[in-house]
Chain A
Amino acid sequence: MKKAFPILGLLTAALLSYALYQALVVAPTEQTMGDVQRIFYYHVPSAWTAFLLFFINFLASIQYLVRRDPKTDMIANWVVIALGVLVCIAPYAFRTLLPAGVYPSSVVTTGIAFVGLYFLIKRLFSEQQTDMLALTTAEVGVVFCTVVLVTGPLWARPVWGIWWTWDVRLTSTLVLWLIYVSYLVLRRFSSSGQTPVLAAALAVFGALDVPLVYFSIWFFRTQHPQPVVGGGGSIDPRMLRVLLINWVAFLCFAFLVCWSRYRLERTKREVEETQALEALLEPRSALR
């Protein structure tokens, strides 16, 4: 796996360069906004990547909490399956409640991804590893969410004439960022043995803000534009292609950064364990 990392790094760098070329040169210029609309190719993929990372953080946090009490494992499995089935059925059973323009298939995909990823994490990661996965995805997710919060105002200023407005989409995104920053602060500065449990509980509740951010533009009247992908909006197919290329490039980049950060965290914990063992053994050797 160590040998694969530099190769994947080079491939990702090439993909990111290609995506940048597509965004700046190949994508057509939007008629009303002009070239500044090209911020879209960084702003939207960064938001989707951040949401995905927070989603994985949520599932890993649930797994961590469940594994600490094996009795809840079976209940959690059934709750996850029931929620997944409910999410898949809901857009067809309660069609009138679905905001206009939302494709039922996009909600069904989310339900399937929720169940699939939950059981994948359960199968691949141990208790300690789910905690490391949660920490890694939260940290990288905050980086991508920061990009969203920086590129958004840089796009808003020339288009709306303002840097920021306290509408639901923007405010809920800021709250989401603050929740995960507080998660990282808790992990960084709390030395209690209960820190991972507290952080996991915070992450589970923090993740509830993600659907609020995502659906806010359907349920509330906002300054933020309506979605152009997956929500019934329209987009030039050439723009959609460039958007998807950029998203794939950012996903590969996020995967590599998460991988490096995960390895760093694993090594750090191994070192801490060794240091603790050494500290326990040292007094004995001094007595001898």
Chain B
Amino acid sequence: MSFLYAAYAATWTIHIVYLITVVRRYSSLKKEVDELNKKI
């Protein structure tokens, strides 16, 4: 059973880590957009 739970946990860890990187890229891009808007 421990291998089963490890596999399911690993799957969701991989997906969540990837989603976190996407969200972080979104927020840094949003900062850039805000700075551009201020300049314009």
Q: Which residues of A contact B (CB under 8 A)?
A: 20, 24, 35-36, 38-39, 42-43, 46, 140, 143, 146-147, 150-151, 154-155, 157-158, 253, 257, 260-261, 264, 267-268, 271, 274-275, 278
Contacts and interface: CB of A to CB of B under 8 A. Distances in A.
B10 A154 contact: yes
B20 interface: no
Given A35-B1, A261-B22, A268 B7 contact: no
A24 B8 CA distance: 10
A24 B4 CA distance: 9
Contact of B3 (A143, A157, A260, A267): A157
Contact of B29 (A155, A157, A271): A271
Given A35-B1, A36-B1, A278-B39, A154 B18 contact: no
Interface in B1-40: 1, 3-4, 6-8, 10-11, 14-15, 18-19, 22, 25-26, 29, 32-33, 36, 39-40
B13 to A, nearest CB: 9
The main secondary structure of chain A at its interface with chain B is helix
A158 B11 contact: no
Nearest to A274: B36
B15 to A, nearest CB: 7
Nearest to A37: B4
Contacts of A253: 15
Contact of B7 (A39, A264, A267): A39
Contacts of B33: 267, 271
